[in-house]
Amino acid sequence: MRLHRCAEIGCHELIKLGFDYCDKHYQSRMNSYHDRLKQSQELKSQTLRGQRDKLEYNRNYNETVRPELGHEFYQTKQWERISEYIKQRDMYTSSVDGRVYGKGDLIVDHLVP
């Protein structure tokens, strides 16, 4: 297997072709990227334009994503059956606090849309 050095100056870690940085430096670069992104979003939200963009984003979210969550899908027999199956499978134990609840007190959620 061909290897090359991490692109970080002073790092002698050998890594596979196709990657630029070793795990450690990749992670630190990603972290600093996310930090800078967060900072710029905070700065942006202080401007009028930033606030307008945020409103725009929220409106878009409310119009497209949110209706899906309160959607008729959750009123279907199919979801009702799945939800009932999951509650029985987990023996009416909440995955949030680990306590046992009555039949109507639990809400089933899903990860995959």
CB atoms near residue 87 (< 10 Å): 19
CB atoms near residue 58 (< 10 Å): 11
What one-character DSSP code corresponds to residue 110? Answer: -
| Token duo for residue 41 | 């979003």
In whole angstroms, the minimum distance from the beta carbon of 37 to Zn ion comes to 22
In whole angstroms, the minimum distance from the beta carbon of 26 to Zn ion comes to 8
**In the complex with Zn ion, which residue's Cβ is closer, 9 or 111?**
9
**In the complex with Zn ion, which residue's Cβ is closer, 9 or 96?**
9
Which residues lie near Zn ion (CB under 5 A)? 6, 8, 11, 13, 22, 25
